[in-house]
Structure 1
């Protein structure tokens, strides 16, 4: 049950998933900037394939972590699990930076002793999916809501970034997101199932899907002297 015994709020879910929620995601492309430069994203079709691949790898991992945190599993244990599932030093730094920014926004919006405790324990930032799950819990949301938020953020960031990077028609970018709706639902459902398993078997039951090309590209992107996005 969410902390405080509150019931799930669809309105709170909309606030948390809103791209205007001040959690810092607008400054990150989710690997899209490097993919555009490498020619792997050229148009709406290649953006769709990039997002689908990202969703079923790092998105699945994030959905499981977020659902587990929203379920009440130990966030410090989950943060260590997130670290182990992020081989790229650049992406580990990004994950904690985004987690720190989300933590500030979440604590201001949904004050919670659990968020306060995690902020004290990890003042430099916990991984973003773990903070997302705790924020959802503080907002009275269910683990499935947290998983859906994680899945959506995995693809909405790159889609929004490519509008700027390629001057892609925003209608086409939105159509890409709409076309991935079934994939997002499936990834969120798998994340929730994995979180339930982790409650019985430990964090090793959580997804550990990887995308080596995203890790390599993130390291290269971090070394660029000039870039539009932080990651």
Structure 2
């Protein structure tokens, strides 16, 4: 039986400030099979790792990422909102995250979510693809998005890249994006998966944090669990799926 992969949501989001180098370092430390992160484009066209279009929820700044330069973004405190001990944290670039993972010889999966569902960020697909493919990284890379047109663009740029559909509701769980682009992986919300109970396509479920939900997904033998608490999920997974081997 293939073991369910434990994917750290925005790094170890439950224990560290999300989408920071510290959160990704913790995800690696606990042995996460995968790491999920989100990207936007700054005013000066840099690939920025942050979840929201705005910086206000996770930093001491104001405004949208697309209206701020990298220099301006780097001046923000991206950790104190979580805990004073993380006041040194700043918003990372995709380059910085990849450099960190390369330095620690991370060999898992990195899932890049392109946050194009509210802003289109012209050129982001080509920029991400060019960056990811400029060298052979120690880890593998896949892409996801709520904006299916973004995924189509990725497959047009690189037909060999791996994509996953992010969705919450019925009707969004399509099995192909075009006659030439079949869908091989879904990333649905936990509540949707509980409603259908079985999936015709492999699924990585988000966001799975409660012990009983982790156990439920393991019983269903899902492809992956996307969680804010990777260390907890790994402990439960190792107990459930390693026993008897």
- TM-score, normalisation: structure 1: 0.26
- Structure number with greater CO (CA < 8 Å, separation at least 6) is 1
Judging by fraction of residues, say which structure has more strand. Answer: 2
Judging by fraction of residues, say which structure has more helix. Answer: 1
Larger Cα Rg: Structure 1 or Structure 2? 2
